[in-house]
Structure 1
Amino acid sequence: MTGSGSTPPATIRRSRRLQDTILAAVHRACDDGQLDLAAKLLRVGEESMAVESDLRRRRQDLWGLIAAHERLWHLRHDDCESSALTHLHSAADMGFGAALAGD
């Protein structure tokens, strides 16, 4: 194995920073509908951002975190809004539409 000519794992350079990898994982969890996991990953992302020494990079990371938090919030609350609308429509279908509308 040592004579195979491959680079040992310790010297492989990663193309993404840890923060970028975490944000990608957050979006992947959102895509897969794993919203609780996405929230946990966001907390880890916040921790990794907090140790960034370059203020310019930290500011860029912050915007990415904000966007991911907004996406997660919308995914969680769109479900609530759509279920509320479903309840209103079913009440209207049962003849309660006029009562709900105040007529």
Structure 2
Amino acid sequence: MAVLMTGADEVRLATAAEYLKKYAVRVNTGEEIQVIGPASPSVGKVNDVYRKVLYLKSREYKELVWIKNHMERYIEINRGFADMRIQFDFNPMNIF
């Protein structure tokens, strides 16, 4: 699963991506999910909007759905994500 994050402030976006990664690692108590990133995609900035991508891998689809739901709740609770756009892609066709 790919988590694409976009925002106008590069520093805030990088900080938010790190916090989201730390949260994903913390709730992944059984270690069924591998967290990769965050990283800047091949095109890191488009029209003054910065991008970060976080990858999550698991053998079980239901584990990815479970962690996505937890991450969505974490994003809704924390106002630091308010000015960012976050997309979850379960079947990324290309590497961002």
Same fold (TM over 0.5): no
Q: Which of structures 1 and 2 has the bigger CA Rg? A: 1
Between structures 1 and 2, the one with greater strand share: 2
TM-score, length-scaled by structure 1: 0.35
